[in-house]
A and B are shown apart, each in its own frame.
Chain A
Amino acid sequence: MPPRSTRRLILHSFLWLTVCSLAVAENESDQHWSFQPVYREQPPVVNNPNWVRNEIDQFILSRLECQDLQPAPPARRETLLRRLHLDLLGLPPHRQELESFLADERPNAYELAVDRILSSPHYGERWGRHWLDQVRYADSNGFDSDHGRPHAWRYRHWVVDRLNEDMPFDQFTIEQIAADLLPDAAQHPEKVIATGYHRCSLHNTEGGADAEEDVYRRAMDRTNATATVWLGLTMQCAQCHDHKYEDISRLDYYRFYAFFNSLEEDEMVAPLPIQIERFTKESAEFEKIYRPLADRRQQFEDELAPRMMKQWESSLQRPAEAEWTILQPQEVDGSNGEDFTVSEDGSVFVDGFLPNGETVYTMTAETRASLVTAVRLEVLPDARLAANGPGRDPEGLFILNDVHVFAQPRQPSDSAAEAPEYQAYPLSYAFASASSPKHPVENVLIPNKRRPRGYHSNQGWAIQPQTGTRQFAVFELAAPVASANGVRLKIHLTQGNEEQFRSIGRFRLAVTSTAPPFVTEGLRNNVVNILGFAPESRTPAQQSQLLDYFCKQHPVWRTLDSAVQGSLRSAPPSPFGTKARIAYEKEQPVPAHDLSGGDFQSPGERVQRAGPAILPAIPARGETPDRLDLARWLVDGRHPLTARVAVNRSWQHLFGRGIVHTSDDFGLRGEPPTHPELLDWLADEYVRCGWSTKHLHRLIVTSSTYRQSSDPRPELEEIDPYNELVARQSRHRVEAEIVRDLALAVGDVLNRKIGGPSVVLAQPSGQEDLAFVHGDPLEPTDGPDALRRGIYIWYQRTNPYPMLKLFNAPSTYLSCTRRQRSSPPTQSLTRLNHPVFFGCALGLGERMYREAAAEIRTDQGIVNQLTNLYRICLTRSPTAPELATLNDIYRTNIAFFDEHPQDARQLVEGLTMTDHDANAAELATWVTLARTVLNLEEFIVRE
């Protein structure tokens, strides 16, 4: 039997219940409170109207008065300023902001401060993070492979921007759930970025996982998240069977699910407006450097090259037949531990593990030839391979993505000299005996095909339908390898990074010294073909292909080209690489079925889209409602849940506890609201003011209720242990990201840049082993980006940044509406010893030392600076007893460091100040004081 949901309220509000009416307990209707329409009651009359600043206060005070209680006194002004800054921006006020606020004697100074704070662009970061918790945002897929999502940030950026411009919550909702279905979606494709909401679901790409099952699971994941985010309902309980507690059947579940199972997942080019603006500006600058260099190259191609080419052509005589020398492998290795068997004919047979992704074969061999101009790769059929090879795929397929050739002079075997380093020899030209249309061999020449982690290259050489036969590809080197005693080669063959199992099963490598262009095995490559025509009978296309070939092998052109390439490195990044992960409706909706036990292999009856039967029906524009109808229904202003759920979450973040404590569960098992009339009044007000979230926040933070002191009230602990009556403000630790932001801000090292891609931070060694990582590990960012706010830290689901996890950042596996707060000792270790936190202490200590260098060591100078330290970090001056303690600490430490100069110098050696030595003790003392204050409980508490 479920417990009575009103149990606790009744326990401690017994007295109050006898006096006042409570909608929850007294309501005659059978329907659960949250499913009933929102009802805006007149705010109650109170005995002490002087305390009332707005309607919120009437509801709160009236209930306090029912129990003969007084609200808490207002918090001190500095506390209020810090509270506003932390709640609305997640950053501490500057000292100047504090001073001007304290000096502002206008009666509406507080309201003016609220307006200033609400218009800060950090507001979107602070409240955006709350929203990202709910939509389970992360930068990777989750599950075993946990591929990265390099474009996920674009949706985060959208969220931050929209909150900053106070996009009405109804529009905010509609665009995220159904922007793709909006009538103007075609005219405003940028709106579709909002559907990134649907792309926050987990995605299982583990080798051997059932891809079909994962499609179902992603749709269920969206269903569950949407129910939590907008409805505050635990619909996932009905995924396998009818909900045990709520009136939600499994059919209800799959009808709701049917809104989300026809989504096509895609990416779109989505540059930020600022990127385009910057690109336009920077391009003009870049042109000034690039154009002259490009012009010189062009001039060579247009004027010199045609003349020189004639000479070259005549010197070529007749293209020669290449002579090939088979390379006898000395070593062959595979990046997936494949087995290699070398035959006498120099061919290599591959066996053993067949990887389902990229693999690289590395072969080393020597040749006595003093010149190597080209490499030939033969792929060979073999009866041991499926479909006779030459690929290891069941149909004999393979895809060759990259060939890298490295060479060094061959060392005589008796030479004691150390072998010189391998040099890379880029390829300039390729041709093959056969290529499939989508995979011409030229693909292999395209450099930098590797995309960011999580993306597969889609370029390479394949030979279907000529599988099962011997084929070959020839790769000319841009510059030949020349070495009198012969050449030692190391060749990488990168394969299969486009599709599963596409690696080569048997191959052989050979080299030639013949000067290109040449003919091989009667195969005339394109260049040789063109050379066969008299110059005057060549088509313009042939002429330009030949010129291209000539230029690329000519040293002058290569010099000019490398200058151009060099300048390209400073080219402004193209804004069109910025993409957004989006979703849109498939042309044909996928039928949805009732899945018994949540098992996709057990489809029951087919279901049509509909909302849960306990809620008002969803009006449809067509025959059945679609996602857009669903989204509009959520925010039509009459929906009983959406506005209540949303205002409750804002309240929760501004008071540390929701009016409904279970902000993720408004159902029967959730806790009832402590102030039902207030909740409804706020919900109604939210809709009436056009769903303006900033209006709602302004209303709440300007109330007397919000401005109360958060000091504990021992006299209320017995009757109101959870502060459900809001007879004071709440005092609680800030979130993980804000803990770090605060330290960076007061350490004066915070990079306040807003928006943009996620920042990968260096993980402690060994930490990366926790995640099963395919492909390259992420390259950590250093430099100023490493000091950006916590919201921008790359969140790898299986291996998040440890500090965030430690301070209760959500797992991102489920929608999170309410974070935990705990204080394990590992948190203290991090605040004490983590390099970032220590760095902040150094920075802050140095700042304190510098600022007061002049007056330091006078008693008043020290007092002033200790006070400043508190004002910077805690937005208040120390109390008299605290100042006494701080003075003691100062004196103890300065005495210690005076006696132990080595300890002092060691502590501050990370600082680059020039006047260290003279004042190392002084500086070290301030660093210690800074470190102390950064570690105080109060530093990461919002009071």
Chain B
Amino acid sequence: MNSPIPPRMHRRQALSGIGTIALASLLQDDGLLAAHAHRPQQPDFPPRAKACIFISLCGGASQIDMFDPKPQLTKLHGSPLPESMIDEKMRFAFLEKKSATLMATKRKFAKHGQCGMEISELLPHLAGCVDDICLVRSMQTDSFNHHPGELLLNTGSTEFGRPSTGAWLNYGLGSTASDLPGYVVFTAGAYSFAGAQNWSNGFLPANYQGVMFRNGGEPVLDLNSPPAVTPPVQQNTRAAINALNRQRLQATPTPELTATIKSYELAFRMQSRIPELVDLSDESQATLDAYGFGRDIPNTKNWIGGGPDTFEHLSRNCLMARRLVERGVRFVHVAHSNWDLHQKLDDNMDLNCYAVDQPIAALLKDLKQRGMLDETLVVCASEFGRTPLGENRRGTTNITGRDHHPLAYSIWLAGGGVRGGQVVGQTDEFGWNVVKDHVHVHDLHATILHLFGLDHERLTFRFRGRDMKLTDIGGTVVDKMLRNV
């Protein structure tokens, strides 16, 4: 056998074809599983994680104010960045390179936990979780604009049309949720950059695209029966559709027809299961309080991170992430936007951190307390960070924000086989460049796949003549992040 494609991939490729026998047999041996969910495949390594909750702070959170303390920056506040540090080709979205000056954080940092990790006072709740967190201070990305940056973070490429991490994981491993989609997306806040491209299936079969759960109205688009249709009428219609489809299947046994029947069955199961899923009345008041339901709502005028509802949305979305993972969903994306802090950094950081800190910390503690954290990988990241320089955009008279910074920023991971209580990587005294343990977005992706037992070099899909990968043309597993087995 001299084909370089591992046998697993032959089978996968067959699924993308039309009129395949493979699909039919897959559906048949899956029995209970629905059209979109395929039996988990044999992984390449022993998997540590079974599910991933990916929290994205869209727009570029400020690592300087949250995660990466720089005493030297405080000392040199107001002076220019040393000439030697600015690359000729370095471009910025708005910042004027020649006249920009260093801008220190106003936030105090303190050591927390047994590990003594330093993070800022903006994140008092997360500070209680640092022993489970692997903080990466040496992230790097390729793009300084939102749209391509988001695409790179979510799909591994600044090009369009690539599948997102959640789609790749579902493609590689399937989902164990029998009556829910394997990939669910929540958004909260103002608006998102790159929109649905961030949870796209790209060239993978559309069954792997993220299904968006909404903050208001029906949790999933078209989930509810039309208002005119009473439950028994819907039930009778369901029975009628099923009877006629199955009768046709007798005469014309095709995999597509089988898939449609399964798809309708799953749709009806979703109709009955999702209302129960989104009904939080079985959660204790203590849990709801922990996630920050009903907390004080500050004044949100001019806030770029949403409106008064956003706090509750984030509490709900984080709690929903746990509930979905409990039910076997493979990948949950929780997005908050936006963090594009060109102006009024101080006010917006206060509100943004207040909005996300408590629900995220509650999620980590909740997962841990339920014994789920070991198998649930939680990642929290932005598409890039923010400059340690103040943004002196043309015409601005006083500097109140920071520009996009792709060279060095911070993200964190927890659970799912990640070694918590440690900091990976280091930046220079200004936080301008990475000086130790560079972690590129491709490396992050390679590591995520590794934690799920997948070799990022082997999880491929043939498209336009190329065997495409989540990690595109790069990616090395960051061993330091992994917990010893």
Q: List A residues at the B interface (Cβ < 8 Å).
A: 1-4, 7, 142-144, 202, 204, 206-210, 234, 236-237, 244-246, 337, 351-354, 384-386, 392-394, 501, 601, 656-657, 662, 664-665, 667-670, 711-712, 714, 717, 721-723, 730-733, 764-767, 769-773, 798-800, 802, 805-806, 808, 811, 813-814, 820-830, 832-835, 838, 879, 881-882, 885-886, 888-889, 892-893, 896, 900, 902-903, 906-910, 924, 928-929, 931-933, 935-938, 941
The interface residues of chain A lying within 8 Å CB-to-CB of B76 are none
Given contacts A352-B398, A723-B19, A835-B226, 10 further A-B contacts (CB under 8 A): A2-B4, A7-B3, A664-B464, A732-B18, A821-B18, A823-B207, A834-B222, A896-B232, A906-B230, A932-B244
The interface residues of chain A lying within 8 Å CB-to-CB of B305 are none
The interface residues of chain A lying within 8 Å CB-to-CB of B34 are 825
The docked-state distance in angstroms from the alpha carbon of A336 to that of B228 is 43
Contacts A772-B192, A820-B205, A932-B237; A711 near B252 (Cβ below 8 A):
yes
Q: Is the CB of B223 within 8 A of A833?
A: yes
The interface residues of chain B lying within 8 Å CB-to-CB of A354 are 393-396
In the complex, what's the smallest C-beta–C-beta distance from A578 to chain B, in angstroms? Answer: 30
The interface residues of chain A lying within 8 Å CB-to-CB of B21 are 717, 721
The docked-state distance in angstroms from the alpha carbon of A665 to that of B462 is 11
What are 17 A-B contacts defined by CB distance under 8 Å? A144-B193, A354-B393, A722-B20, A732-B18, A770-B191, A772-B192, A822-B36, A823-B207, A824-B211, A826-B222, A829-B220, A829-B222, A832-B264, A835-B226, A903-B232, A910-B228, A937-B256
Q: Is the CB of A144 within 8 A of B240?
A: no
Check if B342 is an interface residue, CB within 8 A of chain A: yes
The docked-state distance in angstroms from the alpha carbon of A498 to that of B464 is 41
In the complex, what's the smallest C-beta–C-beta distance from A902 to chain B, in angstroms? Answer: 8
Q: Is the CB of B18 within 8 A of A936?
A: no
Contacts A723-B19, A838-B226; A824 near B397 (Cβ below 8 A):
no
Flag B1-13 by CB within 8 Å of A: 1 or 0 each: 0111100000000
Q: Is the CB of B466 within 8 A of A825?
A: no
Contacts A354-B393, A354-B396, A732-B18; A824 near B254 (Cβ below 8 A):
no
- Contacting B4 at CB < 8 Å: which of A1, A664, A834? A1
Contacts A764-B221, A879-B251; A208 near B94 (Cβ below 8 A):
yes
The docked-state distance in angstroms from the alpha carbon of A209 to that of B195 is 18
Q: Is the CB of A656 within 8 A of B222?
A: no
- Total chain B interface residues with beta-carbon distance under 8 A: 100
Which of B91, B190, B225, B302 has the most CB atoms of chain A within a 10 A radius of its CB?
A: B302
Q: Is the CB of A392 within 8 A of B216?
A: no
Contacts A656-B19, A722-B19, A910-B228; A932 near B251 (Cβ below 8 A):
no
- Contacting A352 at CB < 8 Å: which of B222, B261, B344? B344
Q: Is the CB of A907 within 8 A of B233?
A: yes
From residue 267 to 296 of chain B, which have CB atoms closer than 8 A to chain A?
267, 270-271
The interface residues of chain A lying within 8 Å CB-to-CB of B393 are 354
Q: Is the CB of A903 within 8 A of B230?
A: yes
From residue 199 to 219 of chain B, which have CB atoms closer than 8 A to chain A?
200, 203, 205-207, 209, 211, 214-217
The interface residues of chain A lying within 8 Å CB-to-CB of B302 are 337
Interface of A is mostly: loop
B264 (CB) vs chain A CBs: closest residue? A828
- Contacting B16 at CB < 8 Å: which of A337, A670, A772, A820? A820
The interface residues of chain B lying within 8 Å CB-to-CB of A723 are 19
The interface residues of chain A lying within 8 Å CB-to-CB of B228 are 838, 906-910
Q: Is the CB of B260 within 8 A of A937?
A: yes
Q: Is the CB of B465 within 8 A of A237?
A: yes
The interface residues of chain B lying within 8 Å CB-to-CB of A936 are 241, 244-245, 248
B248 (CB) vs chain A CBs: closest residue? A938
The interface residues of chain A lying within 8 Å CB-to-CB of B36 are 822, 824-825
- Contacting B196 at CB < 8 Å: which of A7, A770, A808? A770
Contacts A144-B145, A822-B205; A830 near B18 (Cβ below 8 A):
no
The docked-state distance in angstroms from the alpha carbon of A354 to that of B400 is 11
- Contacting B264 at CB < 8 Å: which of A337, A667, A811, A935? A935
Q: Is the CB of A351 within 8 A of B220?
A: no
In the complex, what's the smallest C-beta–C-beta distance from B210 to chain A, in angstroms? Answer: 11
B243 (CB) vs chain A CBs: closest residue? A885
- Contacting B256 at CB < 8 Å: which of A393, A732, A765? A732
Q: Is the CB of A907 within 8 A of B229?
A: yes
In the complex, what's the smallest C-beta–C-beta distance from A355 to chain B, in angstroms? Answer: 10
Q: Is the CB of B243 within 8 A of A889?
A: yes
Check if B35 is an interface residue, CB within 8 A of chain A: yes
Which of B94, B221, B462 has the most CB atoms of chain A within a 10 A radius of its CB?
A: B221
The docked-state distance in angstroms from the alpha carbon of A2 to that of B2 is 10
Contacts A769-B191, A773-B191, A808-B206; A826 near B233 (Cβ below 8 A):
no
The docked-state distance in angstroms from the alpha carbon of A828 to that of B267 is 6
The interface residues of chain A lying within 8 Å CB-to-CB of B211 are 824, 826
In the complex, what's the smallest C-beta–C-beta distance from B346 to chain A, in angstroms? Answer: 12
Q: Is the CB of A770 within 8 A of B93?
A: no
Contacts A245-B465, A384-B397, A799-B196; A935 near B161 (Cβ below 8 A):
no
The interface residues of chain A lying within 8 Å CB-to-CB of B161 are 811, 813-814
B223 (CB) vs chain A CBs: closest residue? A829
Enumerate the 8 nearest inter-chain pairs by beta-carbon distance, A residue then B residue, closest first. A208-B93, A669-B465, A813-B160, A828-B267, A798-B195, A825-B266, A353-B343, A337-B302
Contacts A3-B5, A820-B205, A828-B267; A386 near B192 (Cβ below 8 A):
no
The interface residues of chain B lying within 8 Å CB-to-CB of A351 are 397-398
A353 (CB) vs chain B CBs: closest residue? B343
In the complex, what's the smallest C-beta–C-beta distance from B95 to chain A, in angstroms? Answer: 9
Q: Is the CB of A722 within 8 A of B17?
A: yes
Q: Is the CB of B270 within 8 A of A392?
A: no
Q: Is the CB of B342 within 8 A of A353?
A: yes
A764 (CB) vs chain B CBs: closest residue? B221
In the complex, what's the smallest C-beta–C-beta distance from B200 to chain A, in angstroms? Answer: 7
Q: Is the CB of A732 within 8 A of B191?
A: no
The docked-state distance in angstroms from the alpha carbon of A403 to that of B20 is 64
- Contacting A798 at CB < 8 Å: which of B196, B206, B232, B259? B196
Q: Is the CB of A393 within 8 A of B395?
A: yes
Check if B38 is an interface residue, CB within 8 A of chain A: no
The docked-state distance in angstroms from the alpha carbon of A832 to that of B240 is 13
In the complex, what's the smallest C-beta–C-beta distance from B320 to chain A, in angstroms? Answer: 15
Which of B93, B181, B209, B241 has the most CB atoms of chain A within a 10 A radius of its CB?
A: B241
Contacts A665-B464, A910-B228; A937 near B245 (Cβ below 8 A):
yes
In the complex, what's the smallest C-beta–C-beta distance from B331 to chain A, in angstroms? Answer: 15
Q: Is the CB of B187 within 8 A of A770?
A: yes
The interface residues of chain B lying within 8 Å CB-to-CB of A888 are 243
In the complex, what's the smallest C-beta–C-beta distance from B397 to chain A, in angstroms? Answer: 5
A143 (CB) vs chain B CBs: closest residue? B147
The interface residues of chain B lying within 8 Å CB-to-CB of A770 are 187, 191-192, 195-196
In the complex, what's the smallest C-beta–C-beta distance from B230 to chain A, in angstroms? Answer: 5
In the complex, what's the smallest C-beta–C-beta distance from A128 to chain B, in angstroms? Answer: 22
Q: Is the CB of A826 within 8 A of B465?
A: no
The interface residues of chain A lying within 8 Å CB-to-CB of B26 are none
The interface residues of chain B lying within 8 Å CB-to-CB of A352 are 343-344, 398, 400
Q: Is the CB of A237 within 8 A of B197?
A: no
The interface residues of chain A lying within 8 Å CB-to-CB of B462 are 669
B188 (CB) vs chain A CBs: closest residue? A769
Check if B445 is an interface residue, CB within 8 A of chain A: no
In the complex, what's the smallest C-beta–C-beta distance from A708 to chain B, in angstroms? Answer: 14
The docked-state distance in angstroms from the alpha carbon of A210 to that of B404 is 13
A668 (CB) vs chain B CBs: closest residue? B465
Q: Is the CB of B221 within 8 A of A802?
A: yes
Q: Is the CB of B256 within 8 A of A733?
A: yes
Q: Is the CB of B222 within 8 A of A830?
A: yes
Q: Is the CB of B256 within 8 A of A823?
A: yes
The interface residues of chain A lying within 8 Å CB-to-CB of B226 are 833, 835, 838
Flag B32-56 by CB within 8 Å of A: 1 or 0 each: 0011100000000000000000000
The interface residues of chain B lying within 8 Å CB-to-CB of A202 are 160
Check if B354 is an interface residue, CB within 8 A of chain A: no
Check if B247 is an interface residue, CB within 8 A of chain A: yes
The interface residues of chain B lying within 8 Å CB-to-CB of A826 are 181, 211, 220-222, 267
